[in-house]
Structure 1
């Protein structure tokens, strides 16, 4: 059974945490969500699921009701008490009281097994649209010489429009959101592209293309630097330092 991608999430990939102790169900659910463009993490029990929710703060949790040790109802209650994370609950029980128990625990939606994986993907997308607001037009992020309008998907550099592809914009936005931090190509592939595995040269090519547009000398980058043996680091400069005649600090290429 091959997953058919449906209408995917917004350009910035959403992170979904799947908590299910049934390896067959979990594998199918994860495969369909990845095919739909989401970044997916997995936990096999309630305790590890709560730990991952705390560490990763996913955009949504797909939660099995019948979990060992700590059941899904209690996991849902704890998630809702701690964070504003939407939850879709899965269950093998199709009784009205079980559905009500899940909704009373705070679940945003409920799906009884057996279910269509495609329907689950549609439910995930629907819940995210209802509960996770998209960036409004005019919401701006600034760093160094850059000003990003996340809603309009526009970027200016030194006040001038900078023409980027959608993926270059996503890459720059992610880098600006994680300044002065060494990011591996694997991490960028997962966070920006939403791929758990793939050709890492995809990241290398996009970094090179982005450098050609934002660096005065792409062969001697000052903003988007290579950290040898690790990956890349974005170091936004003060605007004055990036202008001609500005003082240049030492750069790790």
Structure 2
């Protein structure tokens, strides 16, 4: 299953947990994002309320009002950027994502700046230095204790 989806002016990236419209981020709560992702992964298919609740909330007991509120939040976020409604309510049954969805390949790898890479050599020297100080301190304490015992 793809991690990125494009529909209309939107791009949804599951691995980055982000929704963008023309490169600008669209704010969604975690539940709203997960709800949209599930619907986008099943475009044109009726997704029952029970199926959606199980997919997004898992074993948590959820009132239908929470699902309605979440769907409303998703619709509101999408409506700010597009005139057309993308989520259809099938009264008494569930929801359907409308419109074509294109699964996009893997997200391009982000270049990691050299400064963000771990400095393993520096860490190794730091660990070795701290170990040497600890051993020297123990020896010094032991020698001092033996001298006072004699």
* TM-score normalised according to structure 1 size: 0.35
SS at match of 2:16: coil
Alignment-derived partner of residue 57 in structure 2: 193
Larger Rg: 2
Structure 1: where are the runs of 5+ without partners? 1-134, 239-253
Contact 1:145 1:237 in 2 (8 A): no
Runs (4+) of structure 1 exceeding 6 A deviation are: none
Does 2:56 align with 1:172? no
SS at match of 2:44: coil
Structure 2: where are the runs of 5+ without partners? 102-150
Alignment-derived partner of residue 69 in structure 2: 205
Once the two structures are TM-superposed, the CA of residue 199 in structure 1 deviates from its matched residue by 1.1
Change (3 A) 1:158 1:235: farther
In 2, Cα distance between equivalents of 1:237 and 1:157: 16
* TM-score normalised according to structure 2 size: 0.57
The residue correspondences of 1:124-143 to structure 2 (distance < 5 A) are: 139-143=3-7
Change (3 A) 1:177 1:154: same
The residue correspondences of 1:85-124 to structure 2 (distance < 5 A) are: none
Q: Greater helix share, 1 or 2?
A: 2
Once the two structures are TM-superposed, the CA of residue 216 in structure 1 deviates from its matched residue by 4.9
Contact 2:46 2:95 in 1 (8 A): yes
The residue correspondences of 1:1-253 to structure 2 (distance < 5 A) are: 139-195=3-59, 197-216=61-80, 222-236=85-99
> For residues 43-74 of structure 1, what are the alpha-carbon distances to aligned partners after superposition, in whole Å with 9 as ceiling and x for unaligned?
xxxxxxxxxxxxxxxxxxxxxxxxxxxxxxxx
- Give the alignment's Cα RMSD to 1 decimal: 2.7
In 2, Cα distance between equivalents of 1:197 and 1:187: 13
- Which structure would you say has the larger RCO, counting Cα contacts within 8 Å and 6 or more residues apart? 2
